[in-house]
Amino acid sequence: MMLVEGEPGDGDTATSGPPAPVKASEEEAAERIRSSVRCSGLCTMSSAHSAHLGRVLCIITGASRGFGRTVAREVSGLVKPGSVLVLAARSGDDLRSLQAELTESEAGRAGLRVESVVADMAQMEGIEKVVRSSEEAFSEHIDHLILVNNAASLGDVSRSVKTFTDMAEVDSYLSLNVSSSMCLTARVLQSFPQRPGLRRTIVNVTSLCALQPFRSWVLYCTGKAAREMMFRVLAEEEPDLRVLNYSPGPLDTAMQVEARTRTADDTIRKSFVDMFDQGQLLTCEASCAKLMKLLLEDNYTSGAHIDVYDV
C-alpha cells in the first residue's frame, strides 16, 4: 500500500452538498479529469488576509513527503514564535530530515518547536503516539489548534469492483483512509476541548474522487467520499470548529506515477499521462499557497469542499 500526500486529479467545482448521481461514459470521465486543469491565474494570491495563523499547535499527518511536507514548510512561515508543529508519518528518516530543516529555519531560530512522531496511523497505537506528543507540546500560550488530516493511500487501482472479495483487504484500506482520520480527530478534540481564546481548525485533504466515480479507483473513491462526509457531519455537530475539506488538485507527486502506470481503465490512465506530458500538474507549493490563503482569510463555510481552482 503506497502512502501518498496529494491528489491525482481534483479540479471539481467547490460544493458542500453531495453530487447528483453520475452515469458517465469513459470519455466523460476523462473529460472531468482534463477539465480540472483548465484554470488561469492559479498562483494569484490576494493580499486581503491576516499576516499569520497565530501561536499554533499544528498536527500534520503524512508529513514526510509531498503535499504534507509542503504544508509543514508553509505553516512554519506563518506562525508566531512559541508555535509547535507535530509532524507524523511512517518514514522516520524523512520526518527527521524535515524536523531538522524547520528547526534550523528562520522560524525555528525564532522559537518554532518541531516534533516528529514516527507512527502507523492505521493502528490505534500510532494515533495515541501523535496525541500524546501533541498534549506534551501544548501550552496555555497556544491560541490556535490546527489538525491537517493528510495521510492517505491510493489503494489498488489496477482492479475493478467485482475483484474485491477479500474483506480483510478492504478493511485494511479503510482503516488507514477513514477510521484513522475519524479516531485521530476525535482524540484531538477530546484532548483540546473548546475554551476561550483557542481557535480550532480541522483540515481534511480531499479529492474530486470524493464527489465523482472513477473506474478502477473504487477504494480511493470510497475512502475519500466517506472521509469527506465524516468531516461534513463534524462541522454540523461542532459549530465552534472550523472544518475545511480542501481538494489540492492534480499534484506532481509519487502518487501520480502510480496513477499513470497502474490505473486499469485505459481512458482514465491516458488522461493522467496526458496531464503529465502537457505539464498540467500542479506543484505542491502552488496548491499549498491556496490552502494557506483559505486558512489566513478564514471566511469559508465550515464543512465545505473547496477546490484549489476555486480559491
All structural domains of the chain:
3-8+49-250+284-310 (3.40.50.720)
Backbone angles phi, psi at 53, to 5 degrees: -95, -5
C-alpha cell at 200: 480550532
Which residue, chain included where needed, has cell 509543514? 72
pLDDT digits (tens, 9 = 90+) for 223-252: 999 999 999 999 999 999 999 999 999 999
Percent pLDDT > 90 in the chain is 83
pLDDT of residue 51: 86
pLDDT at 306 over 50: yes
State mean pLDDT over 112-134: 97
Closest by CA to 49, choosing from 285, 290, 301, is 290
Segment 162-165 long-range contacts (CB within 8 Å, at least 24 positions apart): 164/218, 164/219
pLDDT of residue 225: 99
Selected residue with higher pLDDT from 40 and 161: 161
Can you tell me the distance from the alpha carbon of 90 to that of 88, in angstroms, rounded to the nearest whole number? 7
pLDDT digits (tens, 9 = 90+) for 175-232: 999 999 999 999 999 999 999 999 999 999 999 999 999 999 999 999 999 999 999 9
The angle that helices 254-262 and 266-277 make with each other, rounded to 10 degrees, is: 140
Can you tell me the distance from the alpha carbon of 66 to that of 117, in angstroms, rounded to the nearest whole number? 17
Backbone angles phi, psi at 19, to 5 degrees: -75, 160
Q: Is residue 28 very low, low, confident or very high in pLDDT (cuts 50, 70, 90)?
A: low
pLDDT of residue 49: 58
Closest by CA to 76, choosing from 62, 60, 92, 91, is 60
Helix, strand, coil % in the chain, rounded to nearest 5? 45, 15, 40
Tell me which DSSP letter residue 179 carries.
I
Which pTM does this prediction carry?
Answer: 0.86
State mean pLDDT over 151-174: 97
pLDDT digits (tens, 9 = 90+) for 44-72: 344 445 789 999 999 999 999 999 999 99
Which segments of the chain does DSSP mark as H helices, in order?
Answer: 26-35, 66-76, 92-103, 106-109, 124-137, 167-174, 180-191, 218-237, 254-262, 266-277, 284-297
Secondary structure (DSSP) of 34-57: HHTT--S-TT---S-S-S---SEE
Can you tell me the distance from the alpha carbon of 182 to that of 245, in angstroms, rounded to the nearest whole number? 14
C-alpha cell at 278: 502537457
Can you tell me the distance from the alpha carbon of 67 to that of 188, in angstroms, rounded to the nearest whole number? 22
Which residue, chain included where needed, has cell 460544493? 15
**Is 121 in contact with 127 (CB distance < 8 Å)?**
yes
pLDDT at 39 over 60: no
C-alpha cell at 298: 478564514
Q: How far apart are the first and last CA of the chain?
A: 32
Can you tell me the distance from the alpha carbon of 214 to that of 93, in angstroms, rounded to the nearest whole number? 34
